[in-house]
Amino acid sequence: MIFSSFRFLVFFPIVLLLYYSFRRLRQRQYILLIASYIFYASWDPRFLSLIFFSTLIDYYVGLRLPGARTQGRKKAWLWVSLCANLGVLGFFKYANFFIRSFQGMLMLSGMETDPVVLNIILPVGISFYTFQTMSYSLDIYRGKIEPTRDFVEFALFVAFFPQLVAGPIVRAIELLPQLRRTVALRWDDVAEGSNRFIQGFTKKVLIADNVAPFVDQVFQNPSHYDGVTLWIGSIGFAVQVYCDFSGYTDMAIGSARLLGFRLPENFRFPFTALNVADFWRRWHITLYSFMRDYLYIGLGGSRVRPGRLIFNVVFTMTLVGFWHGANWQFLAWGFYNGLLIVGYRFLLMPIHRFSVLRRFLDTAVGVILRAALSNLLFFVGLALFRCLNISDSFDTVGRMFVFDSAGERLLGGSVLFFYGLVLLSNIACEMKWPSRIAARTPLPLQWAGYILLIVILVLLSPNNTQAFVYFQF
Amino acid sequence: MQPVHGDTRPCPDPPEPESHGTGEDLLSPAFFRDKNVAERTIRPGHTWFDIFFRLAKYVIPIMVALAIIDILLRTFLPPEKLLPYMQKEFAFYTEKIKQFQALPYPDVLFLGSSRMRDDLDPEVFAMGLSQHWRHQARAYNLGLAGAHMEEVYTLAASYLPDPPPPYVIIGFSGTEVAWPYHFTYASRFLWKFENFVDYLRRVPFEYFYVRHVEYYIEAQICRFWYLFAQRDALLNCITENLETRLGLDLLEVPEEMRDHARVMVRNEKQRKIDHVHADSGYHPVLRQFKDLAARIEKNPEEVQITNRREFNNDPDVLNDTSADMLRLIVPTLRRKGCKVAIVETPTSPYMQEMNPVLHGEGFRRWMKGVAEELDVPFFAFPPTPENGLDNTFYGDASHLSDKGAKLFARMVLKRLVEAGFFDKEAAR
């Protein structure tokens, strides 16, 4: 049941109606918990047991952690949580990758092995909810939060359906307090929640799903196309993955808001980023901040020697890449981003010390150049990310820089149009234009806008809604 | 302190999000979080009435405007004008059925899938029966692409004219009778409320698919929202007009494919118009190749069978669940006063060799058994040297060519007449 499906558009109003029909907190918690389990079971009911396992482990660990008498015991309980969560994640997501890689190594050393591939289905959303439950145990271990003794409340924190399968990754500190209060039905929640949901729906069905066929065509066989087409394909994938994932986030935030909950933002107009470090503060913010707080800071953060700092950054970003899935392309993409951040820190940041250059970089031309460079580096990274195997990834990136490379050329006019649209909307949102415009727009013009949007959505939505890209991670 | 359940007292303030370092930090936090996650006070709410009243300010004018757009579209772009731009299944299942219901009722009606649609030329029947009965006879081919038993049953139950055609010939091969609840189009285009309720009543739990409920609801929305119903046709119409009038290349067809694509689009359009407007429901299909034999000779790899189910040769695919559907279809037609016969719509020898369970003897044996139980005549047409239905009479692996449709219609007519099926003259 994906947010942009007909099924969800029936399911959600029923949940909403039931939720607000009951006034007691406990009743509402049960309604949301049952709805969340139904939502998840609509993919594959077997995997409910995994969520339940993760919930039980971290609930129990959470209860035992504060009472542990020694630091050693505390650590042991934390390891129980980490091993259980990372074990589940490792088995379902990474087992085949490690088996294949191990076999590859054996073959390289001249040993013959029978190919073994486990028949494992990746449970949808597993990377999101395991991180969420781990963050709970880690925060208790660090003394940042008190554990909850209410199992229903904790189960709902893990399975809360708006953000269950593709984030944002919400921490206990953000969601648990909200689960402990009853909210009244309010117009601003309805208005803002619906608006946000419509925004996400539009991004997904109007842009992401319409760009997807071009991107699939190009990356199915990238060697067939020339460099220009590969650039356009990569731009198309940037637009697709942004509209798909941020569209999902908008729908998640919107539907949570309709239920009276606030979820953290996951994107902040990434196409307006002025450098690679800035980009990562705008793209998949909850994953990035999770990795920063629980891994990078744990490794020593930036208050270390330069060599160690480079390792910390590259290692953290490589794991960000690996989080997306078990293949070498994602690892390479993470490593590439780590190198970019290090490069920015050690090569480009020193330039800012020269006042003439700094002044130039702050001019309109300088800002445009910085944003363009940030975008281009992002597109190159996505070409690594999107290819179907690592050799294709390197070959594709290489061919992107050979403009007269042989191959068919597709101009992808619609892709460039949608990129322009997304870029413009990112700039407008960064400058806070939409809220200013909306405040001054007379009601009839707002009606006309909605009517136009409905007509465009009806005409341009592909008949088969595609699954969200981030479900596979 | 743990709040008591149902407690409406304020929540404790959440701790500030952790912050590490400043902007100089390489992975410095720019956490874009709403700090009001746990609000200090429980704000007063609104009633449902307040919410609906405020929503109405947006919803009502938008609904009115959409209704006006719909009326304009229905007036200036009715389905007849949009026919060339419709998807073929949409055109056949909506417009062809509408056309069929508007025509004078036929003496003989053919029901089945695209195999029936392409395999039997009704004109051959009309001429033969006119001679047999010594007055003008009319036959109509209501074979529809992708129709399975569910579609045939729905047509039989709810779409026959009044009075119904006295003779109904159902054409099946194994594909249409196996997996009776894996149908595609009945819920999208054909079901009326009573068909939907009937489906819910009879479908075995293990074969119930929620998507059919969704399709049915979507179809009901389509009934009153024209823009939504005709979205594909309208988009095709707009795109094509922009391409032809402004010279835009919106579909981005590669240069070398452009002429081929134009021919394909033109043929497809013509096919829809011809089939829907044909008085007999039949029109020869414009084909790229002369026949299947020529195609196999040129390149056997090109003969693709896209439906993976056609390869399933498990003997259990034809079972009692399928027979149950036939036990519904035949009595339904009989109750309406129709005389029923079932004929095999034979797939090509190429396909029969590939899967004899679904297309060869396996299907014939099974269908013969069920037909005997229902006391309905079944006519099989295995490819023998005598009947001459070899690959040269097929347009592709599944469908007869125009030449084949004429030959096959003569064969079926002969067998039915010899069996005395048409002995009682059609009541007119």
DSSP letters along A294-332, please? IIITTTTTTSS-HHHHHHHHHHHHHHHHHHT-SSHHHHH
Q: What percent of chain B has pLDDT over 70?
A: 82
Residues of A with CB below 8 A from B7's CB? 25, 180-181
Test A447 with B231 for CB contact under 8 angstroms: no
Test B24 with A302 for CB contact under 8 angstroms: yes
Residues of A with CB below 8 A from B59's CB? none
- Of A84, A151, A153, A161, nearest in space to A124 by CA: A161
Pick B294 or B32 by higher pLDDT. B294
Contacts across the A-B interface (CB distance below 8 Å): 167
Test A281 with B36 for CB contact under 8 angstroms: no
A348 in B contact zone (CB under 8 Å): no
Q: Please give the residue of chain A at the shortest CA–CA distance from B18.
A: A293
Q: Which helix (H) or strand (E) holds B332?
A: helix B320-335
What parts of chain A have a pLDDT lower than 70? 112-120, 403, 463-473
Please tell me the predicted confidence (pLDDT) of residue A468: 65
Residues of A with CB below 8 A from B62's CB? 447, 450-451, 454
Residue B371: what are its φ and ψ, rounded to 5°? -65, -40
Residues of B with CB below 8 A from A150's CB? 2, 5
Alpha carbon of residue B141 to chain centroid: 16
Q: What is the pLDDT of residues A211-254, one digit of tens each?
A: 888 898 888 888 888 888 889 999 999 999 999 999 999 999 99
List the 196-235 stretch of A: residues with Cβ below 8 A of B: 214
Residues of B with CB below 8 A from A282's CB? 30
Residues of B with CB below 8 A from A459's CB? 227, 231, 234-235, 238
Test B69 with A455 for CB contact under 8 angstroms: yes
pTM above 0.80, yes or no: no
Please tell me the predicted confidence (pLDDT) of residue B134: 85
Pick A38 or B302 by higher pLDDT. A38
Confidence of residue B8 (pLDDT cuts 50, 70, 90): very low
Both structure tokens of A180: 């402990």
Residues of B with CB below 8 A from A180's CB? 3, 7, 11
Please tell me the predicted confidence (pLDDT) of residue B38: 43
Q: What is the Cα–Cα distance from A192 to B94, expressed in whole angstroms?
A: 40
Test B6 with A6 for CB contact under 8 angstroms: no
Q: How far is B37 from chain A (nearest CA, A)?
A: 6
Residue B342: what are its φ and ψ, rounded to 5°? -115, 130
Test A6 with B29 for CB contact under 8 angstroms: no
Q: Please give the residue of chain A at the shortest CA–CA distance from B13.
A: A177
Beta bridge partners of B140: B109
Test A459 with B5 for CB contact under 8 angstroms: no
Please tell me the predicted confidence (pLDDT) of residue A407: 74
Please tell me the predicted confidence (pLDDT) of residue A188: 85
Enumerate residues 6+ apart whose C-beta is below 8 A from A452: none
Please tell me the predicted confidence (pLDDT) of residue A116: 63
Interface test mutation site (partner A, options B26, B69, B255, max chain A beta carbons within 10 A):
B26
- CA dist list (Å): B69 to B180, B228, B407: 40, 11, 50
Residue B108: what are its φ and ψ, rounded to 5°? -125, 130
Q: How far is B236 from chain A (nearest CA, A)?
A: 10
A318 in B contact zone (CB under 8 Å): no
- Of A171, A145, A140, A176, nearest in space to A65 by CA: A140
Pick B140 or B317 by higher pLDDT. B140
Please tell me the predicted confidence (pLDDT) of residue B72: 95
Confidence of residue B9 (pLDDT cuts 50, 70, 90): very low
Identify which of B25, B30, B31 has the shortest CB distance to residue A301.
Answer: B25
Test B42 with A288 for CB contact under 8 angstroms: no
- Of A22, A44, A42, nearest in space to A32 by CA: A22
CB of B397 closer than 8 Å to CB of B303: yes
List the 119-148 stretch of A: residues with Cβ below 8 A of B: 144-145, 148
Test A293 with B20 for CB contact under 8 angstroms: yes
> Is residue B278 pLDDT above 60, yes or no?
yes
- Of B221, B214, B67, nearest in space to A455 by CA: B67
Beta bridge partners of B339: B167
Q: What is the pLDDT of residues B329-351, one digit of tens each?
A: 999 999 999 999 999 988 888 88
List the 366-405 stretch of A: residues with Cβ below 8 A of B: none
List the 36-75 stretch of A: residues with Cβ below 8 A of B: none
Residue type, B11: C
The most confident of the ranges A106-110, B162-166, B355-359 is B162-166
Q: What is the Cα–Cα distance from A473 to A325, expressed in whole angstroms?
A: 6
Please tell me the predicted confidence (pLDDT) of residue A253: 93
Identify which of B2, B51, B227 has the shortest CB distance to residue A458.
Answer: B227
Pick B137 or B393 by higher pLDDT. B137
Beta bridge partners of B141: B110
Residue A324: active-site member: yes
Please tell me the predicted confidence (pLDDT) of residue B43: 58
Interface test mutation site (partner B, options A297, A299, A319, A409, max chain B beta carbons within 10 A):
A297
Both structure tokens of A465: 């809604």
Q: How far is A391 from chain B (nearest CA, A)?
A: 27
Please tell me the predicted confidence (pLDDT) of residue A9: 86
Q: How far is A394 from chain B (nearest CA, A)?
A: 27
> Is residue B257 pLDDT above 70, yes or no?
no
> Is residue B425 pLDDT above 60, yes or no?
no
Provide ipTM, 2 decimals. Answer: 0.74
- Of A62, A55, A115, nearest in space to A88 by CA: A55
Residue B373: what are its φ and ψ, rounded to 5°? -60, -40
Test A265 with B34 for CB contact under 8 angstroms: yes
Test A6 with B214 for CB contact under 8 angstroms: yes
Q: Which of A113-117, B353-357, B369-373 has the lowest mean pLDDT?
A: A113-117
Residues of A with CB below 8 A from B61's CB? 444, 447
Give DSSP secondary structure letters for A72-134.
HHHHHHHHHHHHHHHHHHIIIIIHHHHHHHHHHHHHHTT----------PPPTTHHHHHHHHH
Q: How far is B296 from chain A (nearest CA, A)?
A: 28
Q: What is the pLDDT of residues B37-77, one digit of tens each?
A: 444 344 567 788 888 888 888 899 999 999 999 999 999 99
Test A183 with B45 for CB contact under 8 angstroms: yes
